[in-house]
Amino acid sequence: MTPDLMEEGARRAAAKSGAAKTGSTESGGREAGFSRVHTPGEVDVAHGRILYLEDVHVSFDGFKAINGLSLDIAPGELRCIIGPNGAGKTTMMDIITGKTRPNTGKVFFGSTIDLLRHNEPQIAQLGIGRKFQKPTVFEKLSVFENLELALKMDKRVKSSMLHKLDSAQSDKLAEMLHTIHLTDSVSRMAGNLSHGQKQWLEIGMLLMQDPKLLLLDEPVAGMTDEETARTAELFLTLKGKHSLMVVEHDMSFIETISEIVTVLCDGSVLAQGTLDQVQADERVIEVYLGR
Ligand SMILES: Nc1ncnc2c1ncn2[C@@H]1O[C@H](COP(=O)(O)OP(=O)(O)OP(=O)(O)O)[C@@H](O)[C@H]1O
């Protein structure tokens, strides 16, 4: 199929699906990223969603940690997730990445990949990356070696650990160093980086594997104000190229990066909208923001 035909097909699908979805989804019928064209071998996002959760339930010994959770994310979207401690944010990420299996519900990557049929390594391979709160880099290796290793660990890239990077890979690595503000630290041992730099390095390592969806758990916790501001810049440059789900408690950071904010509470979506909208929501003020 030619690119023209594919584009035409995507436009038709957009028109058809756009008519059907009149704000009935959790995302309020957003069209963000909808014009992106689906190409063979890619996650099918023709319906405007890269991630789709419907009525998901998880109980731990009878305690309902996730309780009827439904939400969807558009391709290229940067979604912020906030909510009080114990709201189910980590458990939601565990479900998406295959670490925790829900009791019931649907979890789809694009419109065709049922994530509940895949295990953790397969889900990573499909293009869902996850960044835990604590940075995990190879402390005794240099910044360059960490990124190089991440590239070589990408099973989609045909290269062995001993293989030298080709020019495209070298360019990619140089570009990544620039993106994560570590060009000047390329030879430094990762263990000697600041906390914020370690976080950027780990994000860079994930990005080397071209994730389609990146889940980030409290990425700016423990960062200085300057590092937080740089991280916000970084995320804004990633938006559009990747889909991002960011769990954070730092409201000024959320304010800088957010488009749509989802508030989780007691295992389901309490509110969703712009930061202004959710901040004005009485229920959100009650359970999370305080009076
Ligand atoms: N493996 C488990 N066994 C029992 N209970 C669990 C388990 N994992 C999570 N929970 C409980 O489920 C609820 C949701 O936890 P979760 O860690 O997902 O919340 P959270 O929103 O990420 O909180 P925080 O902001 O504190 O990280 C909590 O009450 C937690 O104690």
ipTM for the whole complex: 0.95
Total number of domains in the chain: 2
Instruction: Give the chain's end-to-end CA distance (angstroms, integer).
Output: 57
Tokens describing residue 219:
């990425």
Tokens describing residue 36:
């992106």
71 and 93 in a single domain? The answer is yes
pLDDT digits (tens, 9 = 90+) for 239-272: 999 999 999 999 999 999 998 999 999 999 999 9
User: What pLDDT is recorded for position 17?
Assistant: 39
Residue 198 lies in a domain: yes
Provide the 10 A C-beta neighbour count for residue 8.
13
**What is the distance in A from the centroid of ligand 1 to the CA of 132?**
15
Helices 143-153 and 167-179, axial angle in degrees (round to 10): 120
113 and 173 in a single domain? The answer is no
Residue 272 lies in a domain: yes
Segment 185-199 mean pLDDT? 95
Q: What is the mean pLDDT of the chain?
A: 84
53 and 109 in a single domain? The answer is yes
139 and 283 in a single domain? The answer is no
Cα(235)–Cα(240) distance, integer angstroms: 10
Cα(55)–Cα(76) distance, integer angstroms: 23
49 and 123 in a single domain? The answer is yes
Residue 83 lies in a domain: yes
* CA-closest residue to ligand 1 atom 11: 65
User: Which of the four pLDDT bands, split at 50, 70 and 90, describes residue 276?
Assistant: very high
Q: Which domain range does residue 206 map to?
A: 134-210
Residue 36 lies in a domain: no
Our answer on whether the CB atom of 172 is closer than 6 Å to any ligand 1 atom is: no
152 and 206 in a single domain? The answer is yes
* CA-closest residue to ligand 1 atom 8: 91
Cα(44)–Cα(36) distance, integer angstroms: 10
Residue where a domain terminates, one of 160, 189, 210: 210
**What is the distance in A from the centroid of ligand 1 to the CA of 290?**
21
The residue behind tokens 């996650």 is 43
User: Which of the four pLDDT bands, split at 50, 70 and 90, describes residue 45?
Assistant: confident
Residue where a domain terminates, one of 166, 186, 210: 210
Provide the 10 A C-beta neighbour count for residue 21.
17
Our answer on whether the CB atom of 231 is closer than 6 Å to any ligand 1 atom is: no
Indicate the top mutation candidate among 53, 60, 287 to test ligand 1's pocket, ranked by most ligand atoms within 8 A of CB.
60
Q: What is the CATH number of the domain that holds 75?
A: 3.40.50.300
* CA-closest residue to ligand 1 atom 18: 88
49 and 121 in a single domain? The answer is yes
User: What pLDDT is recorded for position 31?
Assistant: 39
Residue 35 lies in a domain: no
Strand partners, 130: 215
58 and 78 in a single domain? The answer is yes
Residue where a domain terminates, one of 210, 236, 258: 210
Our answer on whether the CB atom of 254 is closer than 6 Å to any ligand 1 atom is: no
Segment 146-156 mean pLDDT? 79
**What is the distance in A from the centroid of ligand 1 to the CA of 64?**
10
Tell me how far apart the 2 most distant CA atoms of the chain are, in Å: 58
SS3 content of the chain, % helix, strand, coil (to 5): 40, 20, 40
C-alpha distances in Å from residue 11, one per residue of 7, 40, 102: 6, 16, 35
User: What pLDDT is recorded for position 163?
Assistant: 66
**83 CA: nearest ligand 1 atom:** 21
Residue 233 lies in a domain: no
pTM, to two decimals: 0.82
142 and 97 in a single domain? The answer is no
pLDDT digits (tens, 9 = 90+) for 66-115: 999 999 999 999 999 999 999 999 999 999 999 999 999 999 999 899 99
- Residue of 129, 125, 183, 128 lying closest to 155 (CA atoms): 125
68 and 99 in a single domain? The answer is yes
109 and 251 in a single domain? The answer is yes
